Amino acid sequence: MLEIKFLRENPDVVKAGLRKRNYNDDALKIVDQTIAIDTDRRQSQTALDKLLAESNQSAKLIGNLYREGKRDEADKLKLEVASAKSKIKELEAHLNETEVALENALLSIPNLPHDLVPFGKGEDDNEVFQKWNQPLPDLGDKALAHWDLAKKYNIIDFGLGAKISGSGFALFRGKGAKLERALINFFLDEADKAGYEEIIPPLLVNEASARGTGQIPDKEGQMYYAEKDDLYLIPTAEVPVTNIYRDVILDNEDFSIKMTGYTPCFRREAGAHGSEVRGLNRVHQFDKVEIVRIEHPTKSYQVLDEMLDHVRGLLEKLELPYRILRLCGGDTGFTSALTYDFEVYSAAQKRWLEVSSVSNFETYQANRLKLRYRDADGKRHLAHTLNGSALALARIVAALLENNQTEDGILIPKALVPFTRFEKID
RNA sequence: GGAGGAAUGGCAGAGCUGGUUUAAUGCACCGGUCUUGAAAACCGACGUGCCUUUACGGGCACCGGGGGUUCGAAUCCCUCUUCCUCCGCCA
């Protein structure tokens, strides 16, 4: 969430940012409402502190009187103090209310978009930041979509996934399972080479963690929830991995922090339907390797570029046609300041599929996480957090199968063969 | 799942028969004196959040989380969480 101090001192900057997210005048009222709540909160705090200070003095005095044996005077003072207590209780309750209200107001305000973020309502307004310059692969009319290829070679079984769990669950078998495992290992090895520490985190997280990275309250409905134990199934490794640094104060020399993790990701995807969700295009469970960075604010945008290069490198090694989008204000995620999406071209469906999203959250997540660092001057500041998919498996598999199909079978990209230990699926 | 014990500042560790504790002490870290330099020794500073102040400063809260008793709670009570020991179950 945004820092209240910043919002208080720069309401116009905040409003301009929210306008880029298509807030109208009515919706913008939240800014002034939040400031009003904060004013109330601060006044209550001041009043309460004053009363508590007086009450502390009295308590000390009573203690001294008892010690000196002046019982009568002490009892008299006790009665006086008792009357102040109800007022303290009242103020405490009010302060608490304003604090909760302020928290809720701040949670409802999204991150401010970076200057580079284009104006726009939705995905059609995203800016193509890097085009695919070569001709797109043309497989002709006989090309099979990946769900047909999956059946033909018996490598992915959506029917069994549905039988065992429900629609939107895939079962990988044989070379399909091996391909999946090979991709995970390939992505992890590449991240390792780039200096990321490998993490295997818990796949179920508590509410504090879900809140820390912003899944709650924004995307609460997208997560599977184990009610009996009050745990959420992770929608991305970002959640457990970033939360390693919840409530932490770093030293300046602790930067850069580079972590990677492979996890399955669980998403309810309620409401999604139609051809968009066919096959591996959108599933409830998919594998993903995530890269996470925690950085000094002065370096975070340089690091964002570095992360883009990393993802580019992966797609080029896999020989997949891709393009990069810079998301517009309407499409940028709630917690992000600047997001780039990578899409690969799936040649049989003739569609671009999103396979990675790389974002800089600046201090927005860090403020929820209370993730700070001590600067050279000894003062504490919020750190910047970034993350990106490197990469999301399911759609990569879809594109690989479709693009590499031949009459003799599906060819495995050279870079991947050491991991699959077979050259084609036939 | 059952029984018992524990949770204090970066770490260790007192306090836990409620009131000179504004949390002792040691270590670590930082600044200084001494030294050619370093070590040792000595001196000093040394938590987090919020409110207030132009500033210097002042105030409040925090001893795992939440609630309660009391004029006053690290200390007493309730509750939750986590860790340790033992028993049971288990890949």
CA of A60 to C1' of B16 (A): 21
This prediction's pTM: 0.91
Average model confidence (pLDDT) across chain A:
92
Percent of chain A with pLDDT over 70: 99
Position with higher pLDDT, A158 vs A272: A158
Span A311-335, pLDDT tens digits: 999 999 999 999 999 999 999 999 9
Q: Strand B: which bases are under 7 Å from protein Cβ? A: 19, 48-52, 58-61, 71-72
**Angstrom distance, A230 CA to B86 C1':** 29
Highest mean pLDDT among A6-20, A51-65, A88-102: A6-20
The tokens for A347 are 């040649």
Backbone angles phi, psi at A339, to 5 degrees: -130, 135
Which residues have C-beta within 8 Å of that of residue A152, sequence separation ≥ 6? Answer: A144
As a whole number, mean pLDDT of residues A64-85 equals 79
Which has the closest alpha carbon to A277: A176, A147, A125? A147
Tens of pLDDT along A206-240? 888 998 888 887 788 889 988 878 889 999 999 99
Question: What would the mean pLDDT of A150-163 be, rounded to a whole number?
Answer: 94
Say how far A256 CA is from B77 C1', in Å.
Answer: 48
CA-to-C1' distance for A126 and B36, Å? 67
Q: Which nucleotide C1' is nearest A75 CA?
A: B71
Strand nucleotide closest to residue A52 (CA to C1'): B60
Q: Measured between alpha carbons, how far is residue A193 from residues A68, A157, A268 in Å? A: 73, 34, 33
Share of chain A above pLDDT 90, in %: 72
Helix, strand, coil content of chain A in percent (nearest 5): 50, 20, 30
Whole-angstrom distance, CA of residue A48 vs CA of residue A56: 12
What integer pLDDT is reported at residue A189 of this predicted model? 97
Residue A229 has a pLDDT of 81
Residues A257-305 pLDDT 10s: 999 999 999 999 876 666 677 888 889 999 999 999 999 999 999 999 9
Residue range A109-127, pLDDT digits in tens: 999 999 999 999 999 999 9
